[in-house]
Amino acid sequence: MIELVGVNKTFTTKDLNVEACKDVNLKIEDGDIFGIIGFSGAGKSTLVRCINLLERPTSGKVLIDGVDITQLKEAELRKIRKKIGMIFQHFNLMRSRTVYQNIAYPLKGSKLTKAQIDKKVKDLLELVGLSEKLNAYPSELSGGQKQRVAIARALANDPKVLLCDEATSALDPQTTSSILKLLKEVNQKLGITIVLITHEMAVIKEICNRVAVMELGKVVETGNILDIFSHPKAQMTIDFINSTNPITKIYELIDNGAEIVRLHKGQRLLKLTYGAEETKEALISQLSKKYDVVCNIVFGNVEVIQQAALGSLIVMLEGSEDAMRKAEAELKHYNIEVEVLKCWNN
């Protein structure tokens, strides 16, 4: 388990102090895929570097399995670092070494024999799907392949934790998703805790089970990813979620008075947001039958997060005032968030 307790990091230059991390408290459980999201400059890169002390916190504790590593001597810290793998946005492979030599790099000075190292490197290459690139140099690889080599290198010492510093930010969407798949595999097959930082909510959505949202050096919200997506609290979180959700386009359409949201007599426009449990019920068709309202789905979006569906629908209701009120009450009864976007008025 990784625990950050009251971590502060201030960079001091001649004219100003930059507080990159302010009183950060985080708990990362074994086996988590923990995402830290924030815009550039939010301090997430600094924070992830505080976990292996590439950046030393100005104050606060960094506990790894209960040991405060800020108190360790250099040699002891280096031992701990060998058990914390790290990958980077720009891969940071050694240009003068082949793929094989890059992966074997961290194994030099370990107790393994040459034959054991050879087996280890080849196993890792197989895991990341690059067995045929054994003798290639990094300059001969694509971005995605470089990151795979970097992942193999980071896993060479059988770490318990893998830190990912914007590991997919320099990659195209398809490569990103293949790397994320690999990371998930690493997490599940090898039981490695993953801490990843990113500025893309899509990345978080794809593989994380827990997330921390950072803004200006502070963690503004932490939690289970499903909770965060279904009930975000901090404005920053809401903004991040909206950045990946097409449903927010409705506000633009309403502002512009678009045809599809133009209402006639007895109509109103609703936004329904529902979580995992409610999606199993056939609510919309029930409403029409029970209350004599016409339900027209204008558009919708369903996110699948950790095998649960989170949906939002833009719905046009038509019927008598009374029927619509009852229908709305019924929806709320099923724990569906109802937001009236627009009502018909003369």
Residue 78 sits in the site that holds another protein (CB under 8 A): yes
Q: Indicate the pairing of strand 267-274 with strand 294-305.
A: unpaired
Q: Is the CB of 55 or the CB of 200 nearer to another protein? A: 55
Using CB under 8 A as the binding rule, whether residue 92 contacts another protein is answered as: yes
Task: Indicate whether 5 belongs to the interface with another protein (CB under 8 A).
Answer: no
Q: Which of residues 28, 84, 236, 315 is near another protein by CB under 8 A?
A: 84
Q: In what order do the strands lie in the sheet containing 2-12? A: 17-28, 2-12, 59-64, 67-68
Burial (CB < 10 A; 0-12, 13-18, 19+), residue 265, is exposed
| DSSP symbol at 297 | E
- With CA atoms as reference, report the closest residue to 33 among 169, 167, 123: 167
Segment interacting with another protein, rule: CB under 8 A, options 78-86, 222-230, 268-276, 305-313: 78-86
Closer CB to another protein, residue 162 or residue 228? 162
Question: Tokens representing 234?
Answer: 């901090």
How do strand 218-224 and strand 210-215 relate by DSSP bridges?
antiparallel
- 64: its two tokens: 């790894």
**Identity of residue 213:** V
Pick the closer one to another protein by CB: 68 or 76.
76
Q: Report in angstroms how near the CB of residue 95 gets to another protein at its nearest.
A: 6
With CB under 8 A as the contact rule, which of the stretches 95-103, 180-188, 258-266, 327-335 interacts with another protein?
95-103
Q: Is 58 in the site for another protein (CB under 8 A)?
A: no
169 touching another protein, by CB under 8 A: no
- CA 169 from centroid of its chain's CA atoms: 12
- Give the residues lining the site for another protein (CB under 8 A): 52, 54, 74-75, 78-82, 84-86, 88, 90, 92, 94-97, 105-106, 108-109, 137-139, 153, 157, 163
